[in-house]
Structures are given as C-alpha cells and as structure tokens.
Amino acid sequence: MPTFFEKLDQRAQAIDSLLCVGLDPHPEDLPEPTGAAAREFCLRLIEATQDVALAYKPNAAFFEALGPEGWEALRDVIRAVPDGIPVILDAKRGDISSTARAYARSAFEMLGADAITLSPYLGYDSLTPFMQNPEKGIFLLCKTSNAGSVDLQDLPLGGNYRLMMVYEKVAGMAAEWGAQGNLGLVVGATFPDALRRVRELAPQQWFLAPGLGAQGADLGAAMQAGLREDGLGLLINVSRGISRAEDPGKAARALVERFREAQKLTRPQLKAHKGALPRLVEPLVEGLLSMGCVRFGEFTLKSGIISPIYIDLRRLVTYPGWMTQVAAAYVRQLKGLDFDRIAGLPYAALPIATAVSLQGNWPMIYPRKTAKAYGTAAEIEGIYHAGETVAVIDDLATTGGSKFEAIEKLTSVGLKVKDVVVLIDRESGAKEALAAEGFQMHALFTLTDLLDYWEETGRLPAEQIADTRAFLKNAGSK
C-alpha cells in the first residue's frame, strides 16, 4: 500500500492543487455553539471545495470545546470527506509513549484521520506509536506561523558542525526519523527564510504551511522557499480565507489558481537550481551586492591582474547576520572533509574563520603574515601538534599565491594540508595550481556561478556581466 505522503503526491499531481482547507468552526461563525452547527458548517465547506482540496485539516480544539457532541461532530466530519482526500487532524499532541499510543488510537482508529500534527518536544519515543502504520502520516511542529514561535524555536544551539536554531534541529531529526516516508513538518509560510532553511535540511518532506490567509504570508516568497524541486511538497493551509468568503467554493478555486500561477513562476527557478547554486545561499548571493562586497569598474588585484570586478569580503565584519550565514555555508562544505583544525589566512579570512570555528566547534590556528620579532617569534598562532591535518580557510581564490605562502608556513612546522576552502573562486588559475601540487580547493561558488545567477535574476546590467565574462575567458586562455 502507498504511504500517506505517496497518496498526497498522487492527489496533488492528479488535481494540480496544493490547497489544504482548514475546517475550523469558530464560535462566531456558528449560529449556535453546538456540535450540529459545527458539523453543518464543515460539511458545507467540504461540499463546496472537494474538487480542489488536496487535503482537509479539522482543528480538534473547536470541536472539543463543544463537549461530547462536538467530538461526535468531528468524527462525522472526517467520515464525510470523500475517499481519496487525506484528512489531517490538527491536534498538536505530544506525550510519553504510553499516552501517545492512546492518542494514536483516538486519532487513527476512533476518528479515522489519515494524519495528525504532533509536538516533537518529548522526543522520538513519543512519536513512534503514530508511525506504526505507513499509511498514516505525521506533521511535526517545526517552525510555526505565529509571532511567538521565535521565543523557543529560534533559540541558537551549539552543534558538532555549525550553530543552528531549535527549529533546524527539529528539521534535521525529522529527516532522519522519517525514513519510512510518513513524517512531514509544520513550517509557517509567514517565515520564508525559515522555510528555505528547513527545505535544505529536509529536501523530500512535505511541509504543512499555515499563515497565508489571515496571518498575511507572502505566497511567492513561500513558494520560492518551500517547494521541492518537483514543484510539490508544500501543503498550503487556508481556513478563514475560505470559510468566511461569500462563496467558499469560488474562493477556494481562486486560491488554487493563484497557487498554480505562483508555481509556474517558481518551477523554472527550482529546475535551474539543480546542479547550480544551493537554494540556501541565494540570500547570501544577494547580500554580497547589497553590502557592497561586489563592485564593478577597473581594479588592480594583488596578483597584478586588472579586473572589471572587485570582491571585498572584508566588509562582512560590519554585518554580523551576513557573517553568520557565510560561516554556515563554509561549515556545510567543511563537514565533508577530514581535518583536525582549521587555519584562517590573514587578513580578510580571519574573522570568517573565527565565525566558522565558533559554529563548527573546530579549533583554529592562523599563520602570521610576518613572524613576531619579540616574545616567542611565532609564525603560527594557536595551539597545534605536528602531524595534524589542517583545512585552510580563505575568502577568495585568484592565482593561489597567498595559499601557497600560508601552506609553506603550516607544513614547515609539521602540519599537513590537503584541502583549501574559499567562498568564491575567481577562476584565474588557483584551483589548477593547487591541484598540481596535491592540494584540493573547494569553492562555495565560482564567479561564473554568481554571474549566471545575477543574469538569470536580472540583478545586474547585461554590459557588466558581459565584460566580466570576457575577462574570465581571457584570463582562462592565458
């Protein structure tokens, strides 16, 4: 039998919709506070929207508040949903495993829901009773849409390889726990940056994304940040925007048309990302321009080369938020390498390497430009031991000259160097020169990557891009 999320994929493709219709019988929307009124309210919505609803999401709280007859109404509403349309019980349960088993029986056996929202706060064992049947799904609270979510979900955590927020930790665990394919995440559309970060950590999961209607989320930003590469994976919940419309069916169909138009605009960009820039670094690429880290004109580089583009990452020290994102990008590259400590190169890369050291919890050293003429006369600052392997951190790579100077100092004291990591490769021969001497250079992106992105997004004049491409071509032919 297909899993819950396989069924969700199939229905999304069959009806070309990402709409989740929230069934929330608010007291003010009912003629009287009774189970019968709540039942009738929801049945009308189902009847009006079933042709475009990818899923329905009844909120248990509004039914429970009506007492036993409200609970009966909830069961009747779930049973009234046509076969083939998934029902997600919005209950946000979370308790120890013995209690969780009772909650699972209630949601899946007694009420007949296909999926449920759960809190991750009690850990994996509190989720396992809900994961026994792959035909049933879980949406784990990750980054919720309310403003107060920042109080706990955005708290920073230390880690083995980088600083992360609590919600990112949840996303990473969910990707691991959901190996059976029946675990998704609740990620509010109100926080597109969080959507983007979670999508990188959980690239295949479905996200239940509230916040588009009354909470004012931006549809285009949410689509760009949260869709999978196949254009699916984002279940967009709307409740009051449909239920309080004069014609709920018409409102639902209009929303789906909006979703489809936004998908058309987003899908080509998603496809372009395949094999190109990681989606998470897009804001960083934009930030390089806004911070003035990338300028155009006529510049003499350290190597003596005249360049139409100048990249100055020293400006990063003034922007701690961007520096944090740069360090996180380095950490993602470094975690796949084998080394004992990192070595930052003076001067531009020293603050970057420091931020990387703090996020990745890796010890750092650095070779001095010139040896001290006093005290210990050290050429390498920091604690190290001969025989250890060092990953060299620099900001840019042009010809590789500064890298070789630093590597010579590091190896002269018995350290080993295999890898050099830079943010941007200017594609002026550094990678090839280093490779010829047995060193591997890793760049988060090349100058060509940046130009391709800026051209695709229309961020730079075509003349500037053409001049820089010509420069790269000439530099590569020499």
Amino acid at site 270: L
Tell me if residue 396 falls in helix, strand or coil: strand
How many Å apart are CA 428 and CA 422, to the nearest integer? 14
Q: Are 342 and 393 in contact (CB under 8 A)?
A: yes
Residue among 208, 224, 213 nearest 251 (CA): 213
Dihedral sign of CA atoms 27, 28, 31, 37 in order: negative
Q: State the Rg of the chain over Cα.
A: 27
* Residue 347 preceded by cis peptide, ω within 30: yes
Spatial contact of 313 and 293, defined as CB atoms under 8 Å apart: yes
CB within 8 A of 265, min separation 6: which ones?
Answer: 220, 223
Contact 353, 317 (CB under 8 A): no
Q: Is 92 a catalytic residue?
A: yes
The rounded distance, in Å, linking the Cα atoms of 93 and 101 is 11
Dihedral sign of CA atoms 31, 36, 42, 44 in order: negative
Strand partners, 367: 380
**Please, is 121 exposed, middle or buried when counting C-beta atoms within 10 Å of its C-beta (0-12, 13-18, 19+)?**
exposed
**CA gap 104, 289 in Å, rounded:** 51
The answer to whether the CB of 428 falls within 8 A of the CB of 365 is no
In the block, which residue shows the tokens 């594609």? 427
Residue 278, both tokens:
């990681």
Identified catalytic residue from 92, 169, 416, 418:
92
Task: Judge residue 3's burial from the number of C-beta atoms within 10 Å of its C-beta, 0-12 exposed, 13-18 middle, 19 or more buried.
Answer: middle
φ/ψ region of 374 (left if φ > 0, alpha if ψ in -120 to 50, else beta) reads: beta
Catalytic residues: 92
